[in-house]
Structure formats: structure tokens, C-alpha cells
Structure 1
Amino acid sequence: MTTLEVAIEAVAEAIAAEKGGANSVEVSQDLAHDGLTPSIALIEQIREAVSIDIHVIVRPHDRDFVYTPDELETILADTAALVAVGVTGIVFGAQTSSGELDVPMIKQVASVAGPATFTLHRAIDSARQPTEGLGALSGTLDRVLTSGPAATAWAGREGLKAWQQQFGQQMAFIAAGSIRAEMVPQIIKETGVSGIHVGSAARKHGIVTIEKVAQLRHLLDG
């Protein structure tokens, strides 16, 4: 079964995602800037409200994916706190100042994330030499949330297919990035990825709705 994940910011959206048939939610705040670390209080409320998997973004600022030593300390502390309240997974990514994936930093955060699963987020999509980075992170990553080496999942589907074929036995690839409902069957067919991650496709007037999520679930199951 192809999994469906919905990006959310509120308890009501998590409930709608679950009722619509999503397998998981990705929780953040400030989705308009691609998501920042949410509060522990929100995560605890969502954990009480739903039984599906809860993946949480750890991202202290929206400037880029380059982090200072002080910011890394915050990232590690936030990761440990989220794991302590029982989240399913941590979602994180980092780049070096020259634009490659920051493999040592990603491994350091992943080491704190256990026993939660660890997802590399779309920092990979704008990284230099992303395929080499994936190879260096084999054994560290449980999932990769990505549009492939492109701005959108539709544009990056050839790259997604190549990554799925090369690394799909080591990590699960979740297609993400401006995915509209009508694109879903073709993306799955062409790439072979194990899951789809959506934001606006699950929303009506900016809010996640049961109906929109159910439509996506139907497309995946069909």
C-alpha cells in the first residue's frame, strides 16, 4: 500500500487527516515558510487526538538549511524532547555552507532521534551532489521526503525513480513538492515510491479537510 502523509499545523487538521485515511501527519508551524519546529504542547495534543503516525519537523529558522553550533544544540535538544513525548519520527535536513548535505550533522541528529524513525526532508532537493549525500547516509535514514533533484515532485519524477531504484532497499522515498491530486497516480506509476506527502492538495480554503484527504486516499488505493 502506498502511504499518504499530510502536512498539518493544528489538532483539527490531524483529526481530519486521520478520518480521511492518511497514514501519517507531518507537524510543523509556519508552513508558509516550509515549516518550523512546533511546540511540545501542540505535539502532545495531537498525540492524544489521533492514533496515526506523527512525524515532526525540527527546523529552528527559515533562512536556509545551514546551522551554527548554537543552533545545532537547539536542534538536538528539540529532537530529544520530541522523542521523549513519543513522536513516531523526526524530520530534519541540513546543508553545509557550500551547499552539500551536511552528513555529519544529519547523522548526529539521527543518533538522538532513536528510537523514533528519522526522515531527511527536502533540504536534499536543493543540495549539491544529492546522490552522493544519499549514499553517505545509507544506514542512517529511514525515509527521504523529496521532490527529487527538482523544485517539484512532478518535475523531479525521473530523479525520484533513479533514487528509488538505487537506494529503495535502504530507505523509503516519499514524494513531496507541489503535488496535486490529479498527479498522484502518474507519480506513483513512474517513480515506484512508497508514499506521497501533500500539503495544499489536502486543503480547502487553506484548511485540511476529510473530503480532500479521502479523495487522495481513493486515488492511491485505486
Structure 2
Amino acid sequence: MALLEIACFNTDSAVVASKAGADRIELCDNADVGGTTPPLSWLTGLRDKVKIPIYVMVRPRGGDFEYSLWELQQMRDTIMSFGSTADGFVFGILKSDRTVDITRTSELVKLAAPLPCTFHRAFDETADLFQALEDIITCEIRTILTSGGGSSAIQSCDVLAQLMKKAGDRVVVMPGGGVRATNIDELKEKTNALVYHSSALIAPQRVANVAETMQMKLILQLKT
């Protein structure tokens, strides 16, 4: 059965998503910039309330994905401090030419081991998605979160399907970007992905919508 990951930008959202049937949480702060590293206290406070896996965003700031030495050290420190409590990590590092920074990405993957890592939508900013796919596989990343390079996953179904075909069983390609109950059925039909990513937010709410989460999960169950 396909899994549903919900991006949560506060602890209330994580609790709601978990109760509504999400299979995994991506825990972040600062939704307005696409997510940054959350406070450690958020994760420790959730451990007794949320029993599904929680992956932690490792991103010291919004903006681009090329990081200074100081910012890279912040990312190392995050992994070290969250390592005993998190179930996985989410990050992405690029070079100035919009290619994957294989050296730094590999370093963080090794630091996080044995916890799994997801390469986030920095992937969609790369100059060549298919070369980036190969580079990320080299880094031993487990999952790639991507919209297929477009503004939303549903608009890039063909690219997502091509990425999944090329990836095979070497890495999980997880569609994300505008995924909602209104389009997850079509997305599943066209990509047959194993995992889907959504914030389940209905503006102006800042907490995952219960009905939205439940409906997406139901659709994935019916389509299995």
C-alpha cells in the first residue's frame, strides 16, 4: 500500500496528521520559506504523542541550497543533536552550478547512518534532474522528494514517471508539491509511486487538515 507523508510546520500539525492516518511526518519550521530545521524541543515533545516515524528537516535557512562552511556545520550539529530521537532526516545541498554537492551530501548521509535520509526539493532546482538522480543515488540517499521539476507534481506526472523508471529500486521517488485529495488519485494512476508527500494545509490554516489527510489516505488505500 502506498504511504502518505505529511509535512508539518508545528507540533499541533504533527499530532493531527498522525491521528488522521498519515504514515510519516516531515517535521519543519518556517512554512513561509519552504521549511527549516525545527527546534529539538518540538521533536522531544512529540515522541510520546506521535507513534509514526518523524523525519526532521535539516535546513539552516530559507533561500538557495548552497551552504557556507558555517551553515554546513550547523547541519552536522542538527543531525548529531537530533540523531537519538529522529527516525530520519531531510536535506539537500547543491553547488553553484546547480548540481548535487555529492561530497557534502554523502558526508551528512554517513553522519546520519543508520537513519535514512531524504533529498528534498532542492532536487527540483538542479540543472539536470536525471543526472541529479544518479548523483543522489551515489550518495546513498533513500528517498527523493520532487515535483518533477515543475511547480506542482500533478503538472509533471510524465517526468515523475520517467524518474521512477530510471530510479528502479535504487531510490524511492516521492511526488510532492501541491499534492491534495483532489489530485492524488490522478497522480497515483500516472506514477504509481510508493510514497506521496503533502502538507494537507487548507489556507489560511497552519495545521494539517484532518479531512484532507484522511481523504488522501483513503484514496491511496482504495487504489492499492
TM-score above 0.5: yes
User: TM-score when scaled to structure 2?
Assistant: 0.93
Name the structure 2 match of 1:159: 159
SS at match of 2:212: helix
Name the structure 1 match of 2:205: 205
Between the aligned partners of 2:121 and 2:95, the Cα distance in structure 1 is 14
SS at match of 2:155: coil
- 1:200 CA displacement: 4.1
How big is each residue's C-alpha offset from its partner over 1:38-78, in whole Å with a ceiling of 9 and x where there is no partner? 01111111122110010111001112101011111111111
Between the aligned partners of 2:105 and 2:20, the Cα distance in structure 1 is 33
With over 3 angstroms needed to count, the CA separation of the structure-2 counterparts of 1:203 and 1:170, relative to structure 1, is farther
In the alignment, does 2:24 pair up with 1:28?
no
SS at match of 1:63: coil
Between the aligned partners of 1:189 and 1:123, the Cα distance in structure 2 is 25
Greater displacement, 40-49 / 133-142: 133-142
SS at match of 2:182: helix
Name the structure 2 match of 1:123: 122
Map of 1:12-91 to 2, 5 A cutoff?
12-84=12-84, 86-91=85-90
Between the aligned partners of 1:66 and 1:91, the Cα distance in structure 2 is 15
SS at match of 1:211: helix
Name the structure 2 match of 1:195: 195
- 1:180 CA displacement: 2.5
Is the CA contact (8 Å cut-off) linking 1:21 and 1:217 kept in structure 2? yes
Name the structure 2 match of 1:216: 216
In the alignment, does 2:112 pair up with 1:113?
yes
How big is each residue's C-alpha offset from its partner over 1:89-112, in whole Å with a ceiling of 9 and x where there is no partner? 100001101111211111111111
Between the aligned partners of 1:184 and 1:202, the Cα distance in structure 2 is 15
- 1:206 CA displacement: 3.1
Between the aligned partners of 1:218 and 1:199, the Cα distance in structure 2 is 16
Between the aligned partners of 1:212 and 1:203, the Cα distance in structure 2 is 12
Between the aligned partners of 2:144 and 2:164, the Cα distance in structure 1 is 10
- 1:209 CA displacement: 3.1
User: TM-score when scaled to structure 1?
Assistant: 0.94
Is the CA contact (8 Å cut-off) linking 1:100 and 1:130 kept in structure 2? no
SS at match of 1:220: helix
With over 3 angstroms needed to count, the CA separation of the structure-2 counterparts of 1:206 and 1:12, relative to structure 1, is closer
Is the CA contact (8 Å cut-off) linking 1:181 and 1:201 kept in structure 2? no
Is the CA contact (8 Å cut-off) linking 1:60 and 1:71 kept in structure 2? yes
Amino acid at match of 1:125: D
In the alignment, does 2:131 pair up with 1:98?
no
Is the CA contact (8 Å cut-off) linking 2:92 and 2:119 kept in structure 1? yes
In the alignment, does 2:144 pair up with 1:148?
no
- 1:210 CA displacement: 2.4
Between the aligned partners of 2:202 and 2:193, the Cα distance in structure 1 is 19
- 1:130 CA displacement: 2.2
Between the aligned partners of 1:75 and 1:118, the Cα distance in structure 2 is 13
RMSD of aligned alpha carbons: 1.5
Unmatched 5+ stretches in structure 2 = none
